[in-house]
Chains A and B, each alone.
Chain A
Amino acid sequence: MATVTAPAPGRRRRTPLARREARWAYLFLAPWIIGFLIFYAGPMVASLWLSFTEYDVINPPEYNGLDNYRELMSDPAVARSLGNTVYYTALHVPLVMLISLGLALLLKRVGRLQGFFRTVFYLPVMTPAVAVGILFLLLLNTQDGLINRALGLVGIDGPSWTTDPHWVMPGIILMSLWSLGSTVIIYLAALQNVPRDLYEAASIDGAGPWARFRAVTLPMISGALFFTLIVNTIASLQMFTEVYTMYFGNRETQNTFNSDAASFYVIHLFQEAFQFLHMGFASAMAWLLFAIILVITLAQVKLSNRFVYYEGEDQ
């Protein structure tokens, strides 16, 4: 952790002054504490309780024990959305990391124009997710989309990205790769922080480019790799806006296109809550998601302890 603690004010005993200071401290913290109680602690308790009830907003919540969780385990729609989400995450995260690392390694070698190219890779991140969804809906169009046109140039008959259930998810993953710019910037910053003398020392020891990459670069940026692994995993498990824009929220599109194939967990949760008013069931879904995220993150942290090198830890 890169956190630094404030220097000690120089007095150890609780003097009246220290007590006055503490009062002021809590005054400064007050907005956050109030916000925490109203928007985190309270809602968490309420949501946990709601997950054991049937609640449609109009009638008061009715306790139904573990019914929601039992239904959760047997509902094929939930299973499908969870399956899709995991499939997406399993492909999206490694691809983003790999491509971003490649781009960052390229960027690292650029001299004066580095800022320009960095901007090029980052601008898609600035694009509103709804606009990204719309744009790719058209780029992925079977007959006239830019992507299938490009594939046609090299003699490939492009698939029906937006209508064929088997190709909907690959299309979404393709779209998601366009917005990987922040990962590139994180890697670039990490690469530029690798001390140059390490490379020089490795070269003197006779290490070639690949050996230098394996022995110097990878360990030195493992912190950044690990961080982006966790962050991108958590984010992709909660994918919502782009896919919702493309395939949901409109009865006609939902009927015309196979929205089952594009069903993501948070989209399904949102629909259960705000379209079907199954607030209790949706709350149970939310807690299952939280549990999944916690388990995956903890597993990744455990794994990282073996692979991540933190500067200053070894002596």
Chain B
Amino acid sequence: MTTAVERSAAAPVSGIEPARAAARRPPAEEARRPLWHRVLFIAALVGAAVIFMLPFVWLVSASLRPREYVFAPGFLPTPFSPENYAEAWQAVPLLTWFGNSVVVGVAAAAAVTLSSAWVAFGFAYFRFPGRNVLFGLVLATMMLPFAVTMIPTYLIWSKLGLTDTQVPLWAGNLFGSAFYIFLLRQFLLALPREYFEAARMDGASYPQLFWKLAFPLIRPALLVAFVFEFKASWTDLLKPLIYLRNEQLYTLPRGLKVVLDRFGYGGEQQWEIVLAGSVLATVPMIILFFLAQRHFVEGIATTGRKG
């Protein structure tokens, strides 16, 4: 499961702070380099970029070719066969899986963002006995491999009769998550305390401080948490593998695995269906990245989280 890995991945490190545009090398300095140096530099950069992009190009192009042309040389979708997508649509309940992924992703992301912000406010605003020990414990949970808690957690959901429902895929997020608590606490600590003291003087309650004052002020950080968790949920295979039996409940990655097993290897080698499904699972993440690019980059750069 990617999320467990990613959660264990976050920790504060000195030297990792948001990239600052001001630190960039001014163009004049670039121009002083010898020509061959600059040519080499551009060749390396463009070459690397092409290598990283070619798998995408091939994926999209091959998904638009007829079955017998999937492995044809070249990067153009010729002959053109957009019917693959309709075919995939008919072969498996792609739309249902897509909807499931959206519902589970939004539930998981909203739950973890709200609860983590609530808890983070507790750590950032109050001074109370045991605070540092508890916060240390929060951070320590990030070290624990998912495998250790995986089986008993499954037994809990099973005792509650909630296996083969989507509840286990997001409900654990209602209790906050270490990485996001850490991230949001950092943002809350950066807010001037006078804001809160002034609101207290005016008679605001603590939940009001959180909801009316802190919450709007850390909106960028809340978005970071939301998009990260949505992505983690959207790409997760392990939890759906453990909890879901009914195909109608599958999320896209779980469904995609079925598509691969049924139509790819061991099946009838209908790779065009497998590829169309892969593109459909990937495109929303690409769009999400372009919509929330700033938040992804900021999130990784400020916390050193592995996306």
Contacts and interface: CB of A to CB of B under 8 A. Distances in A.
A241 B175 contact: no
A32 B181 CA distance: 9
A216 interface: no
Interface in A97-144: 103, 106-111, 114-115, 117-131, 133-139, 141, 143-144
A114 B24 contact: yes
Contacts of B123: 28-29
B118 A31 contact: yes
B253 A129 contact: yes
B246 interface: no
A6 B16 contact: no
Given A186-B16, A234-B9, A273-B150, A192 B235 contact: no
Contacts of B103: none
A270 B151 CA distance: 9
Given A7-B193, A134-B260, A221-B15, A234 B301 contact: no
Contacts of B285: 126-128
B52 A121 contact: yes
Contact of A226 (B13, B119, B122, B127): B13
A4 interface: yes
Contacts of A9: 127
Contacts of A256: 265-266
Contacts of A135: 55, 58-59, 278
Contacts of B275: 134, 138
B282 A311 contact: no
A83 interface: no
A295 B142 CA distance: 16
Nearest to A145: B71
Given A108-B25, A235-B5, A289 B17 contact: no
Interface residues of B, number: 119
A185 interface: yes
B151 A224 contact: no
Contacts of B150: 273, 286
B201 interface: no
A79 interface: no
A149 to B, nearest CB: 6
A190 B17 CA distance: 7
Given A129-B237, A238-B5, A252-B266, A40 B144 contact: yes
A120 B49 contact: yes
Contacts of B115: 31-32, 35
Given A40-B141, A252-B265, A274-B242, A25 B237 contact: no
B128 A21 contact: yes
Contacts of A64: none
A310 B13 CA distance: 9
Contacts of A27: 122
Contacts of A108: 24-25
A168 interface: no
Interface string A145-170: 11001000000000000000000000
B121 A28 contact: yes
Given A221-B15, A266-B147, A26 B128 contact: yes
Contacts of B174: 31, 35
B59 A311 contact: no
A210 to B, nearest CB: 14
Nearest to B178: A32
Contact of B156 (A38, A231, A235, A253): A38
Contact of A130 (B127, B181, B281): B281
Contacts of B2: 129, 241
B129 interface: yes
Given A130-B256, A135-B55, A293 B145 contact: yes
A269 interface: yes
B256 A128 contact: yes
A182 B306 contact: yes
Interface stretch (A41-49, A67-75, A86-94): A41-49
21 contacts: A7-B193, A21-B127, A22-B126, A28-B210, A43-B152, A108-B24, A126-B289, A131-B253, A137-B264, A138-B62, A178-B55, A185-B300, A188-B301, A192-B23, A223-B16, A232-B306, A234-B8, A249-B241, A252-B265, A253-B265, A290-B148
Interface of B: 1-2, 4-6, 8-9, 11-20, 23-25, 27, 30, 41, 44-45, 48-49, 52-56, 58-59, 62, 70-71, 73, 115, 118-119, 121-129, 131, 134, 137-138, 141, 143-156, 158, 172, 174-176, 181, 186, 189-190, 193, 206, 210, 231, 234-238, 241-242, 252-253, 256-257, 260-261, 264-267, 271, 274-275, 278, 281-282, 285-286, 288-290, 293, 296-297, 300-301, 304-307
